[in-house]
Amino acid sequence: MKFKELRWLLGFARPLSGKMILAVILGTISNLSVVAIPLLATFEALSFINDRDINFPKLLFFLIILGVIRGVSRYFEQYLNHDIAFRLLAKIREKIFNTIRNLGPAKVTGKHSAELITSITSDVEALEVFFAHTVSPVMIACFTTLGTVGFLSFFNLWLAALLFVGQLIVGVFIPTFSYLYYQTVGTKMHKATLKLNQGVIENIESISEIIQFQLEEKKSNELRRAGCELNREYRKKLTQGTWLQFLSESVLILTSFFILIISIHMNLSKDTSVIATVLSLSSFGSVLALNGLGNSLLTTMASSRRLFELVNESPNVIFQNHSTKINQVESLEIKNLSFSHERQSIFNNLSFNIEKNEIIGVGGESGSGKSTLVKLIQRYWDPDVGTIQVNHQSIQQLSEEALHESQGIMEQQTFLFEATIEENIRIGQNYSLDEIDAACKKAQIYDWIISLPSGYQTRIGKNSLTPSDGERQRIGLARLFLKRAPVLLLDEPTSNLDYLNEKAILKTIKELAQNRSVLLVSHRPTTLAISNRIIILHEAKGNN
């Protein structure tokens, strides 16, 4: 993890620093209590061997107290760490959603759906390891090591130094070596997960085509291979964890063994030799919790890097914070517009205007830039040269809210939510039922809706009633009637319709154009025929 990524993650934790400090204190107390229990028992056992009096009730009392302290402090340390982690994950999710929102549709539509889903879900969840099992445990291990090594130094500095080296190997060198040696595993696991997720999403969305062209076996084999690839990478990670555990336990045993041998070789007292050995065996708990940290952080570091890159990605356009709301549009003007996208020239000195109550048709072959023109007016991007003006004011001077409220958009496919027909038409707005009825009648969808057993409360979507393409388009038109936007951008609104449905939709669009400026994009001459003027775009050759 780079320093800037680490600083970014720790920035989220700063408001909860008080809780983190308390978690570290409780964790240190918990670990020192674990060390104190066998040490206290060893002291009393040595007293018994040396014929000194032992107060068994007092010993039992202190052992119980230490056990209670251990249990309570451990519980609240774990509670605080996970409370901190999940609060911070919520903040990070909010940050990610705001980032995606601010990036705008141009940047988001350029990403794979599986990539975005992985960032929002798996990548954010992976950071739980960092906040709950890294920051606090590392601090706890440091303070516990200082406590145990410091205690042993009162008996013998050489033994204390040996214990420190053993804990350093387990808590620092083994996790670091593991991370450096297997640092590609996290990236490979992410790629395998992404490939499997994308395959599942694509197969679900294209299920009808898969059945139609009898691709079931081929697609199943592709998913199976993607699953096997993910399993292989996961097994590598598990194997690494097993070896780490073996190495760490071996260092613990060897450290205790050498402490015992050296103490005997140095002719230290039997009491010192026994206490040092018992202390060594019981003091590795906090650093053992870190021995698999490098392995666990492989995926976490890759996730944090991707999230850091996502939240620091720059949007294509920057909107004004405030601007006047546009209630009426007298003209929409395209002036000397030139635009290139991904090194491909699309427009060169394109100019035209749309007056109020006017429908301007835009035609041309596929790839000529028809849909790109609609997206430029929506301000997915800014043009290289020229301006797009509403009422002689550049859209770059408008706030995002003002621009979007002034535009009603209807695309080739009207998206339907898994909800009722009323909710799909209302789209969260507070329209009255009379207004919805009027809009549906204008869109010629009212008779179909009331013919359904549940009327407006009929649920539609992939898992419910599936409307036809014509019904879907009319629902989109009803939304436009309700919005009352002064500018309408219609991108291939009839491309999937038969002749009769096209005629009905075009009649509705002409009604919709009253007191509005309409840009109608289509490759169909029959659709463009309702326009007042028609502009034909030509692929990558400039447009006028």
- What confidence tens digit (pLDDT) does each residue in 399-430 have? 988 998 899 998 888 889 999 999 999 998 89
Residue 12 domain-assigned (yes or no): yes
Of 279, 311, 343, at which residue does a domain stop? 311
Task: Indicate if 256 and 344 belong to the same structural domain.
Answer: no
Single-letter amino acid code for the residue at 360: I
Task: Indicate if 528 and 477 belong to the same structural domain.
Answer: yes
Which residues constitute the domain of residue 221?
Answer: 3-311
Task: Indicate if 146 and 259 belong to the same structural domain.
Answer: yes
Instruction: From 479, 336, 476, select the one nearest 414 (Cα to Cα).
Output: 476
Task: Indicate if 355 and 433 belong to the same structural domain.
Answer: yes
Overall number of domains in the chain: 2
pLDDT at 1: 55
Residue 225 domain-assigned (yes or no): yes
Kindly report the three-state secondary structure assignment for every residue of 308-327: HHHHCCCCCCCCECCCCCCC
How far apart, in whole angstroms, are the C-alpha atoms of residue 381 and residue 266?
77
Pair 131, 13: CB distance under 8 Å: yes
Contacts of 319 (CB under 8 A, 6+ apart): 379, 398, 399, 400, 403
Residue 544 domain-assigned (yes or no): no
Pair 127, 92: CB distance under 8 Å: yes
How far apart, in whole angstroms, are the C-alpha atoms of residue 47 and residue 463?
75
How far apart, in whole angstroms, are the C-alpha atoms of residue 42 and residue 434?
85
Give the count of alpha carbons within 13 A of 188, CB side only.
15
Taking residue 121's Cβ as centre, other Cβ atoms within 10 Å add up to 12
Residue 169 domain-assigned (yes or no): yes
CATH code at position 516: 3.40.50.300
End-to-end CA distance of the chain: give it in Å, rounded. 52
Cβ-based burial of 56 (10 A; exposed 0-12, middle 13-18, buried ≥19): exposed
Residue 411 in tokens: 């695309």
3-state secondary structure of 339: strand
Task: Indicate if 304 and 339 belong to the same structural domain.
Answer: no
pLDDT at 542: 44
pLDDT at 436: 95
Task: Indicate if 163 and 211 belong to the same structural domain.
Answer: yes
Residue 41 domain-assigned (yes or no): yes
Task: Indicate if 306 and 343 belong to the same structural domain.
Answer: no
Query: Which stretches in the chain have pLDDT values below 50?
Result: 541-542, 544
Pair 282, 40: CB distance under 8 Å: no
pLDDT tens-place string over residues 310-369 = 888 888 888 888 878 888 888 899 999 999 987 788 888 999 999 999 999 999 888 888
pLDDT at 139: 93
Of 311, 341, 362, at which residue does a domain stop? 311
Instruction: From 130, 144, 104, select the one nearest 12 (Cα to Cα).
Output: 130
How far apart, in whole angstroms, are the C-alpha atoms of residue 415 and residue 6?
40
CATH code at position 66: 1.20.1560.10
Task: Indicate if 287 and 356 belong to the same structural domain.
Answer: no
Residue 319 domain-assigned (yes or no): no
Task: Indicate if 294 and 396 belong to the same structural domain.
Answer: no
How far apart, in whole angstroms, are the C-alpha atoms of residue 313 and residue 103?
8
Residue 402 domain-assigned (yes or no): yes
Task: Indicate if 23 and 147 belong to the same structural domain.
Answer: yes
Of 311, 342, 371, at which residue does a domain stop? 311
Residue 542 domain-assigned (yes or no): no
How far apart, in whole angstroms, are the C-alpha atoms of residue 36 and residue 47?
16
pLDDT at 544: 45
Task: Indicate if 232 and 353 belong to the same structural domain.
Answer: no
Pair 162, 262: CB distance under 8 Å: yes
Task: Indicate if 501 and 366 belong to the same structural domain.
Answer: yes
The CA–CA distances, whole Å, from 534 to 272, 361, 367 equal 97, 4, 18
How far apart, in whole angstroms, are the C-alpha atoms of residue 283 and residue 162?
13
